[in-house]
Amino acid sequence: MKYGRIEGINKDISKLVMGCDNQDDINEAAKLWDHWIEVGGNIFDTAFIYGGGNHEKVFGEWLKNNNRQDVLILGKGAHSPECNPEAISKQLTISLERMNTDYVDIYIMHRDNTDYPIDEFMDVLNEEKEKGRIKIFGGSNWTIQRFKEANEWAEINNKQEMSILNNNLALAKMIKPLWNGCLSSNTEEILAYLNSSQKSHMSWSSQARGYFLPDNITQEIEDKITMAETYRAPGENSSGPISCYDSEDNRERKKRAMELADKKGCSAHNIAASWTINQSFPSFALIGPRSVKELDTTLPCLDIELSQEEINWLNLL
């Protein structure tokens, strides 16, 4: 396992983050999460809305049989339409009860809501930190302008800053949002900011939903997701890898990833994951394996070292 550090968390953090949004059965989940601990993983990504709350409960069942001090929890809340300052504390209370813990190490606002002044969100987040229910916090799917504004306000008012930006950061640039309100950090402006500020980034869908797998497998994933998403509103985009990531530039990125994978003796899928965690700023990748086998196919990305030249070349820079 590879590890990184984020100020405010006094321990190493595995560069891969285990997503908990697809485990409904404690017995199956325990097999995966026990293996995750065995290979050196130590951080889990949860959210108030996952599985209508069931996924936090399953994780809480697993946590009862494990040492809380050895585990880091990234919890998220305040998802639209309940994205408001009041929802943060209300939902956090429920999440902590579900997970059988009295704090999360990292709290992420699942969305932003520009109808509210930034100070209202920052006040609540700082209050929760003072209560000891969160250690550090950040924003998911926040624009870089609002993220900067939040930290400028914190500096002026002698408050805790946002430590983490939690947008999509994949080698394939997101062409269409996977879900409404989703944002990508693979832009020149955001990458330049992260490099200069050394703020931490935790990427969801860091492997572009399987876009860098062989074309026939990518198409199978696309078809399965399209078939499963019967709840989509009319005109809403599928969240499949082709619907959201396919473009001429991304096809070139995939071609380059395949070329580099041949040289390094791995898969293009592994190259894509390694691109995210090898950035020159603290960069972590959320992954969502459903089984031990799926997890093991991702782990080889940890053995890949990419130079800045290779990182730029893969991203067409």
Give domain status of residue 93, yes or no.
yes
User: What global pTM score does this model have?
Assistant: 0.94
Which of these, 95, 84, 81, lies nearest to 46 by C-alpha position?
95
Each residue's pLDDT, cut to its tens digit, for the chain (317 residues) gives 999 999 999 999 999 999 999 999 999 999 999 999 999 999 999 999 999 999 999 999 999 999 999 999 999 999 999 999 999 999 999 999 999 999 999 999 999 999 999 999 999 999 999 999 999 999 999 999 999 999 999 999 999 999 999 999 999 999 999 888 999 999 999 999 999 999 999 999 999 999 999 999 999 988 888 877 655 454 556 789 999 999 999 999 999 999 999 999 999 999 999 999 999 999 999 999 999 999 999 999 999 999 999 999 999 99
Give domain status of residue 138, yes or no.
yes
Provide DSSP, 42-91.
-EEE--TTGGGGHHHHHHHHHHTTS-GGG-EEEEEE--TTS-SHHHHHHH
Number of domains in the chain: 1
Q: Residue 213 is encoded by which pair of tokens?
A: 């797998």
CA distance 140 to 272: 21
Helix (H) or strand (E) holding 16: strand 16-19
Question: 52: domain CATH number?
Answer: 3.20.20.100
Q: Based on C-alpha coordinates, what's the Rg of the chain?
A: 19
Q: Give Cβ neighbours of residue 184 (< 8 Å, ≥ 6 apart).
A: 167, 168, 169, 170, 173, 174
Give domain status of residue 229, yes or no.
no
Beta carbons of 42 and 71 less than 8 angstroms apart: yes
Give domain status of residue 145, yes or no.
yes
pLDDT at 277: 97
Beta carbons of 313 and 52 less than 8 angstroms apart: no
User: Which residues span the domain enclosing 65?
Assistant: 3-166
Give domain status of residue 245, yes or no.
no
Give domain status of residue 134, yes or no.
yes
**Helix 144-156 × helix 118-131 angle, to 10°:** 60
Give domain status of residue 89, yes or no.
yes
Write the burial class of residue 206 (CB in 10 Å: 0-12 exposed, 13-18 middle, 19+ buried): buried
Peptide bond into 177 cis (omega under 30): no
Give domain status of residue 149, yes or no.
yes
Provide DSSP, 187-230.
SHHHHHHHHHH--EEEEBSTTGGGTTS-HHHHHHHHHHHHHH-T
Cα dihedral sign, 282-286-291-295:
negative
